[in-house]
Amino acid sequence: MKGKKIFMPRSHLAYAKFAGAPLKVHKITNPWRSPTGTLPALKTREGGSISQPSKIIIHLRKQKYNADYDLSAKEGADTLAFVSLLEEKLLPALIYTLWIDSKNYVDVTRCWYAENISFPLNFLLPNRMHCQQLEKLRLVRGDPVLEPGEQLEKELYRDAFECMTLLSQRLGSQKFFFGDSPSSLDAYVFAHLAPLLKIKLPNGKLQQHLNSLNNLQQYCTNILALYFPSDAREAPGHKIHAPPDSSDFGNEPHKRRNQILSALFAVGAMLGYAILTGILTIKRERPQLKNSSHDDEDDDEGED
């Protein structure tokens, strides 16, 4: 993968680690190379493919990789309640922080995806994902015409702060939420909080609140060290830089020619993508007959 890596785990990957599932992880930047055409994707031993994180977790449980095996009925109910709380209170603020906040999106999120997605998709996918995340936020908030603004940001961050504080109180001094072994709740919580721990954002209000909750911050750090050691060794907050290009793209006299060709190719790819996905449609109109004007004149004359 090009550039500096931003650690953004998903709940299904953390769950697989916690449950001891023998997964072989392939890190790719082109979703069209996955078995399902989307990311994440799981290719099963039977040759099938699963694309949604929740369905991946269900599949792992069916294969006897169950991180919740030892939970009591009450702990299972608590898991459902806290997962619902995460999706209602924390997830909208995360979407806003990473995808809607203009400074964070332009300086970090879009920059990272543009550097790590192969050309020409790096021109297309970040903006498409930005629009998808805005629609997701509108759906979660129940407002189809929701627009970013200072008032919305205050409401989202207030809910997120309350959610993180409740999580901190529930965790207390325990290693994991239900004792010494991680469960699906730990997978969901970690997947939501780890990006805040690892990414340096210009607008870092959520990060500041997480850092003020010492037990929750240490909780994420411990999981990184135990289950994602290669990512834990990376110092958080490093700025992303693309590696120098050894091709003739940056060398004269070919630089200007290659820039123009790349721009033309990108425009062509975007137009093709827009037509294929239905974003842009071409409407064909039947040509008018040449003698239509004469027919109109004849009709007018006949009325006199």
Q: Give the pair of three-digit tokens for residue 34.
A: 């996955």
37-61 pLDDT tens trace: 777 888 888 778 888 888 888 889 9
242-274 pLDDT tens trace: 333 333 333 344 344 444 545 555 666 666 666
Walking along the chain (304 residues) 10 residues at a time, the average pLDDT comes out as: 46 91 81 73 82 86 91 95 94 94 91 80 84 90 87 95 97 95 95 89 93 95 90 49 36 43 59 61 58 47 46
- By DSSP bridging, strand 49-50 and strand 42-43 are antiparallel
pLDDT in the model for residue 267: 64
pTM: 0.71
C-alpha 280/C-alpha 267 separation (Å) is: 13
Alpha helices in the chain (DSSP H): 11-19, 53-62, 73-85, 91-95, 102-104, 110-116, 121-141, 150-171, 184-198, 205-212, 214-227, 229-232, 254-277, 292-303
Question: Which domains, and CATH codes, for the chain?
Answer: 71-232 (1.20.1050), 254-303 (no CATH)
pLDDT in the model for residue 65: 92
